[in-house]
Chain A
Amino acid sequence: MPGPEPGGALPLVFENVCFDAGGARRLHDVSCRLEAGSLSVLVGPNGGGKSLFLRLAAGLLPASAGRVRWLGPSPAAGSSAIVLQRPVLLRRSVRANLAYPLRLAGVPREEAAGRITRVLAATRLSELAERPARRLSVGEQQRVALAQAGVRQPAVLLLDEPAAALDPGATGALEAAVRALRADDVKVVMSTHDLGQARRMADEVLFLHRGRLLEQTPAEAFFQEPKSPEARKFLAGEILG
């Protein structure tokens, strides 16, 4: 499936991004570059700011301070699609769910049909295409949500704990679908609290704790020798205060 031009809009850059809500600062001065190609995984304890980070990257929330920018050679091509932790599918077939964002984006019908067929195959949903999406299992629904995001051919695919509610079999199917979408040069940024999944998937790790980005490190280095004491405790299974 032809994806976005590698590096067209990327890197996606966070410049001193802060986010305030309920009178408190939830994200503190986050700066990082998300380059094309690698699969970036956000890890950290609950409440650390992973979901906020992804929503800011998706443009669903505005930064209270700082900014999120596309700095690639063609920033106009910058687009992202996010899969929420609890995706809400429409009360229609799987195929119609995939067609919906394409119709919103004004993609011509013929091109949309082709893209949908390819994404259904990549995410192994072809046989379920005409089934009502809300009648599927949780794992299948999560893959539909992934396909719904992937069919838009975004520069960055943002996944918010996509396997949080899945059993090992469904998690394996989801990870295979993510890899299939990545084969089309889509940049993937995903959050997880499952360190096993992070080890399997990550090229680089961003460790967030209490709304601060404590490190952005290649995955191997992070798991062998994390820089921050918080990350060391987290990897050791200690409860972080």
Chain B
Amino acid sequence: MSGLGDAFHTAFRLLLSWDPELAEIVWLSVEVSAAALALAAVFGLPLGALLGIARFPGRRFVVAATNALFGLPAVVVGLVVYMLLSRSGPLGSLALLFTPTAMVIAQTLLITPLIVALTRQVIEDLHTEYGEQLRAHGAGTFRAVPTLLVEGRFALATVLLAGFGRAISAVGAVIIVGGNIAHVTRVMPTAIALETSRGELALALGLGILLLGISWAVAAAAELAREVARRAGA
């Protein structure tokens, strides 16, 4: 109990003191995960929607493959990105390894399948309801994609939240490609891993609670936006 009590005490102390190093870590965590989420959304939402609507040979195989990638281990993603970006790798000349950009790439690869798979499910359900009506309006498959993405905006906000949660909490991928370098690539999960390895369990738990707090705050903001939209009748 005293361990947990210390952790909460440390978390509140961290929050109240809000020292620049902590602010840097928190900001970089949010920045990297938000960038990864934006990229994953740009590719994942239309791709998932198309997969939910279009019918083509081998579709079931593609759906199964996407679902399988849903649970992609973060360390495997980190390893692949590391091999691509390392000096001897095909993209080594870009010198991106151990930079926040490498972390964005890893997180994007990690959460895109999740966004695709969940979007596919949401849009497939919506298409069952809207499909014939949209065809009656003259909307073909490609025109139906943006329409259904807009119609499913509330459910898709939850999908994006899930993606953000997976991105910001991923340790394995970012520690491999980011290197957990202080003031450069240190983010909250890697800082937690570091403090744990140092035996600073209270500090690690405090950071964990802070991480949870950020995820909760993002979810609460999304829920608030959804409620405001609902009351406006959108």
Contact = CB atoms under 8 A, between A and B. Distances in A.
B133 A84 contact: yes
Contact of B143 (A87, A90, A104): A104
A221 interface: no
A87 B130 CA distance: 9
B140 to A, nearest CB: 9
Interface residues of B, number: 16
Nearest to A106: B138
Contact of B233 (A88, A104, A105, A131): A131
User: Per DSSP, are chain B's interface residues mostly helix, strand or loop, or mixed?
Assistant: helix
A135 B132 contact: no
A92 interface: yes
A156 interface: no
Interface residues of A, number: 19
A132 B137 contact: no
B233 A87 contact: no
Contacts of A90: 147, 150-151
Nearest to B148: A90
Contacts of A148: 137
Contacts of B135: 60
A100 B136 CA distance: 12
Contact of A104 (B139, B150, B151): B139
A90 B137 CA distance: 12
B143 A88 contact: no
Contacts of A135: 233
A60 B136 contact: yes
A3 interface: no
Nearest to A158: B136
A134 B234 CA distance: 9
Interface string A77-92: 0000110100110111
Interface of A: 58, 60, 81-82, 84, 87-88, 90-92, 100-101, 104-105, 131-132, 134-135, 148
Interface of B: 129-130, 132-133, 135-139, 143, 147, 150-151, 232-234
